[in-house]
């Protein structure tokens, strides 16, 4: 048989209150590279990077009229072309 002290721990919240969910931190936003930095990283011209983006081979984001490539998308692009 349970005693009253086992049923009601002094530090536990009352049962009628909703349980708190553990806090989850949002992931930081991905680092975005310009076409110039992407071209420099890939050791190719900016025009070639723009062609890859236009062909849909390299994912990009248009932010305020500027084209940016997320580092994660660049990593995916490179890993898909690894021999």
Domain boundaries in the chain? 30-83
For 34, phi then psi, to 5°, come to -75, 170
Q: Looking at residue 28, what is its pLDDT?
A: 82
**What are the C-alpha distances in Å from 66 to residues 18, 28, 32, 34, 52?**
46, 21, 11, 8, 16
Residues whose CB is less than 8 angstroms from the CB of residue 46 and which lie 6 or more positions away in sequence, other chains included: 35, 36, 39
- pLDDT tens string, the chain, 83 residues long: the values are 555 544 555 566 666 667 777 777 888 888 999 999 999 999 999 999 999 999 999 999 998 899 999 999 999 999 999 88
User: Spelled out in words, what is the top-level CATH class assigned to the domain 30-83?
Assistant: mainly alpha
Q: What's the length of the chain?
A: 83
């Amino acid at each position: 048989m349970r005693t009253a002290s086992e049923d009601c721990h002094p530090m536990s919240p009352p049962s009628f209150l909703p349980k708190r969910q553990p806090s989850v931190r949002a992931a930081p936003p991905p680092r975005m590279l310009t076409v110039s930095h992407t071209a420099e990283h890939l050791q190719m011209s900016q025009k070639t990077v723009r062609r890859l983006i236009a062909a849909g081979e390299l994912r990009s984001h248009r932010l305020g009229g500027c084209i940016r490539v997320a580092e994660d998308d660049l990593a995916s692009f490179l890993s898909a072309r690894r021999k």
